[in-house]
Amino acid sequence: MMDRRNFLKATGIGILAAGTSGTLLTACSTEKKKRSSGKLNLSFEPYDLKLRHAFNLAKNSRTHTPDVLVQLEYDGIIGYGESSMPPYLGETQVSVCKFLSSLDLSQFTDPFRLEEILDYVDSAAPDNRAAKASIDIALHDLLGKIMQQPWYKIWGLTPEKAPDTSFTIGIDTAEIVRQKIEEASPYNVIKIKMGLDNDKELVNIIRSVTDRPICVDANQGWDNKEKALEMIQWLSERNCLFVEQPMPKEKIDETAWIKERSPLPIIADEFLQRLPDVQRAYGVYDGINIKLMKSTGMHEAYKMVTLARALNMKLMVGCMTETSCAVTAAAQLSPLMDWADLDGNLLISNDRFDGIKIVNGQVKIPDRPGIGVIPV
């Protein structure tokens, strides 16, 4: 990770003037802003997530993920949040820090005005979904700590109903795939990244060493609807639970055609961002994969769950490559889900938090206030 001086120089954000006193604040400083009682105080810092293995998808590969860690303080209580930025989101540490620097959360003296605060954050600039999610997560963590309750209890959920999580295996060589299968032995469901010419070979390698259920994420990698349907039918005979985003998100009619004929549920991923997309997905997909970095956080994610259930759609909660901060925040929603893919923290070697646990393959939500994480 680049040091603070080089980061500021490279980003061009530099130093911002704050207020009329001429006090200078760096845009991405690890130093805390001066705390004043009865106001929300925001601080944040860039952080690079180091992957244990190269993360290979149908359209790209990477060995790290840029991230920004956030703290929101009120009367000495700190809420933690996070913004993770895989390439396809279109956000960077520069854009996230610039967005966060533009906010004046000190104007809010009551953190329980959640709708008002998040409306302000959402209206500050278009897009910036991961940046907005970091504020949302930190605010939920703060409020839960003030109430001294975890969010699954505030929402009235039963943690024992949380599903098993899948463990993701990217596109790789046969030797590395077998190694990853061995690492995934504690998990009851394996998630496979597909979208290349050797998809069947990858499944056959996995099936040579385990018969555990699999789920497939094509990441928009299949361009032909007939071939996509043929692959889905082939997968249905090999203990596959569902297929995520088989076609490019723009191919709505083709995806609907597949859904009508598919023996497996078709789940929206890249197609789905925020609440209005749930209605758009209805009739095209059987279900949706909700990720906090796309939905702008927990508040809107909960609304998406409510709407999707009203439409009788399947539900999945997922994540990006993230620390346990954002993954544990997403886990608060897991008792509402049919499936979970909450392994982003397990894919990195430099986690900064203790939070979600996986016990016998199942998501276990910490019984701690807020989102349930502790800095380590």
Q: What is the pLDDT along the chain (376 residues), one digit of tens a residue?
A: 444 344 333 333 332 222 322 222 334 443 344 444 689 999 999 999 999 877 655 455 678 999 999 999 999 999 999 999 988 789 999 999 999 999 999 999 999 999 999 999 999 999 999 999 999 999 999 999 999 999 999 999 999 999 999 988 877 788 888 888 888 888 999 999 888 778 899 899 999 989 999 999 999 999 999 999 999 999 999 999 999 999 999 999 999 999 999 999 999 999 999 999 999 999 999 999 999 999 999 999 999 999 999 999 999 999 999 999 999 999 999 999 999 999 999 989 999 999 999 999 999 999 999 999 999 9
CB-based contacts of 141, cutoff 8 Å, min separation 6: 72, 79, 80, 81, 329, 370, 371, 373
Q: Which residues belong to CATH 3.30.390.10 in the chain?
A: 4-151
What CATH number belongs to 153-375? 3.20.20.120
| Phi, psi of 131, rounded to the nearest 5 degrees | -60, -45
Q: Which residues belong to CATH 3.20.20.120 in the chain?
A: 153-375
Contact, 133 vs 292, CB < 8 A? Answer: yes
Structure tokens at 144: 């839960």
The predicted pLDDT at position 172 comes to 77
The predicted pLDDT at position 6 comes to 43
311-335 as b/e: b if 16+ CB within 10 A: eebbbbbbbbbbbbbbbbbbbbbbb
Measure CA 195 to chain center.
21
Superfamily of domain 4-151 in the CATH hierarchy:
Enolase-like, N-terminal domain (3.30.390.10)
- DSSP tag of 156: T
Is 301 exposed, middle or buried (CB count within 10 Å of its CB: 0-12, 13-18, 19+)?
A: buried
- Residue whose C-alpha is closest to residue 310's, from 270, 268, 278: 278
Contact, 337 vs 316, CB < 8 A? Answer: yes
The predicted pLDDT at position 180 comes to 85
The predicted pLDDT at position 154 comes to 98
The predicted pLDDT at position 255 comes to 98
The predicted pLDDT at position 5 comes to 40
Helix (H, G, I), strand (E, B) or coil at 166: strand
- DSSP tag of 185: T
Contact, 264 vs 240, CB < 8 A? Answer: yes
The predicted pLDDT at position 63 comes to 85
- Residue whose C-alpha is closest to residue 330's, from 51, 84, 68: 84
| Separation between Cα atoms, residue 366 and residue 363, nearest integer Å | 10
DSSP string, 301-338: HHHHHHHHHHTT-EEEE---S--HHHHHHHHTTGGG-S
| Separation between Cα atoms, residue 310 and residue 298, nearest integer Å | 19
| Separation between Cα atoms, residue 152 and residue 159, nearest integer Å | 7
